[in-house]
Structure 1
Amino acid sequence: MSHELFSLAGRRAVVTGGGRGLGRAIAAGLADAGATVAVISRTHRDVEAVAQELGDGVMPLAMDVTGNDPDVMVDAMEDLLGGSIDVLVHAAGIQHRDSAESFAAEEWDRLLLTNLSAPFKLSQELGRRQLERELPGSHIFIGSLGSTLSIPKAAAYTATKSGVYGVARNLSTEWSGRGIRVNCIGPGYFRTALTEPVFADEHRYKRMLDRIPMGRFGKPEELAGAAVFLASDASSYITGQILMVDGGWTAA
């Protein structure tokens, strides 16, 4: 197999939540594969720092994906990148932990908006444009272990990540025959700001580590290969799938 199949040279990519954590690692991987990448985050400081650190080909855009009209957001992304978007990665996400019986309604709504509604609406708008222009594309949603398993004290997060996988399957069914592939990546436990409360709990840390066949937690950069693969021609016949990157957790 030619290594060119994995090349993203000449392609324009957007990574929401690209200012830190898994989103930043994915942005770095796409850029290293040759893509021009727009990193999106609500925090201007974060995206500016990532763009400066990753160098040429990575462009910052401070934007709240939950607080703007999708058409306005895609216009801004296309203006920044200088043309139509080829690859969209939904890495923006939030978490809130509480027991199901105590879970606050406002927190439920906040997670559904950020983790599920916002990425669907953004893909909906970009997909509409790609279909109208008869352009191919790759949309990549970020799920989690919660896309296929339950996570205690994370009812809303589990619901949104299950929903993300459902959206990816549905969009794939509707769009893949017209050139747009839609897939999902399911990260296991990686040490980021989102998962830090878990790592701070010594008992839970040990219990989770014991469940991972590889015997360790993931490093954010280990997620980049999956994103490059799903964005590239190397996965040209793969759509509607979830690729678990979890050290074997869901296989055990």
Structure 2
Amino acid sequence: MDGVSVDEGNTHFASPSSGLPFPFSLFDLRGRTVLVAGASRGIGATLAEGLSAAGGDVIGCGRTACEQISSQVFDYRVCDLTDGGAFQALCADIASSRKNIDAFVFSAGVTYPSQSALQNMDDFSRTISTNLLAAYSCTLSALQWMSGPASIVFITSVNSALGFPGNPGYAAAKGGLRQLAKALAVDLGDMGIRVNCLAPGYVKTAMTAESYADSTRRRQRIQRTILGRWGEPVDLVGAILFLVSDASLYVTGQDIFVDGGWTAKGL
């Protein structure tokens, strides 16, 4: 391209054989193996379904059976993500037939909000264990079968950048995950592996059902956004396609907030 300097040794574009015209070929995931951890329901299941619709060979996993119809359009495995040995075995099994893992998405998460001023230590520890420690453990396992160009995406939250009441474990875990992504982006850049975060605002899922059912809290959250509504899991699909595909080959260590404008809004 005129006026653009390209290091040809590090360039990887979608294959013209995809049959899709540029720039749509950049989002084509055919021939890519994508592992989505935390795909049993909600955001994770919807992301897995969207990645599959874009042509990806998607394997979803989580500690319980998949609750959504999504399980009919991607391969789903039951696996406790806090059990490092079990997840490592899952990755090895995937690699034995697919040869490699091209993208890893960590969408698993739990929340134990406190009704009092401070969260108890047990709930804090459980949150950190699933939302942060498991993310790193699972990433280490997936990396054994990844080579560049490849993509890792952590699903964080507006809680990764803003303080919210009654749930310090969740904010600490998501904030830690945000910084973990930046550190890994530095460590893995030479391998051609990009690491980014997709940070949702309030999205209607089973995890947020109690807040949504409360008309006062539902209205408060709507008023904090610019677009004047809660998010839906499908609102995140475009961003995950961008981060997993060749469309984001020069993007790493970044946070993409899909929050209806929550983090941008002042008065």
- Using the size of structure 2 for normalisation, the TM-score is 0.86
Deviation at 1:45, TM superposition (A): 5.0
Q: Which of 39, 42, 46 in structure 2 is aligned with 1:18? A: 39
Counterpart Cα distance in 1 of 2:93 and 2:80 = 12
Q: Which runs of 5+ in 1 are unaligned?
A: none
Contact 1:100 1:155 in 2 (8 A): no
Matches within 5 A, 1:76-115: 76-79=93-96, 82-98=98-114, 101-115=117-131
Q: Which of 131, 156, 176 in structure 2 is aligned with 1:163? A: 176
Q: Percent identity?
A: 35
Counterpart Cα distance in 2 of 1:173 and 1:16 = 23
Root mean square deviation of aligned Cα: 1.6
- The yes-or-no answer on 1:61 pairing with 2:92 is no
Deviations, residues 49-92 of structure 1 (Å, cap 9, x unaligned): 5322x2xxx1111111012424323213334x632111111111
Counterpart Cα distance in 2 of 1:178 and 1:102 = 42
Aligned to 2:133: 117
- Using the size of structure 1 for normalisation, the TM-score is 0.91
Aligned to 2:27: 6
Q: 1:129 to 1:37 in 2, by over 3 A?
A: closer
Counterpart Cα distance in 1 of 2:138 and 2:49 = 22
- The yes-or-no answer on 1:28 pairing with 2:49 is yes
Deviation at 1:154, TM superposition (A): 1.2
- The yes-or-no answer on 1:143 pairing with 2:156 is yes
Matches within 5 A, 1:228-243: 228-243=241-256
Partner-residue secondary structure (3-state), 2:35: strand
- Which range moved further: 220-229 or 91-100? 91-100
Contact 1:6 1:33 in 2 (8 A): yes
Counterpart Cα distance in 2 of 1:142 and 1:87 = 13
Contact 1:143 1:184 in 2 (8 A): yes
**Number of aligned positions between the proteins:** 243
Q: 1:45 to 1:178 in 2, by over 3 A?
A: closer
Q: Which of 64, 81, 85 in structure 2 is aligned with 1:43? A: 64
Q: 1:227 to 1:2 in 2, by over 3 A?
A: same
- The yes-or-no answer on 1:213 pairing with 2:226 is yes
AA partner of residue 71 (structure 1): Q
The structure with the largest alpha-carbon Rg is 2
AA partner of residue 27 (structure 1): A
Contact 1:13 1:85 in 2 (8 A): yes
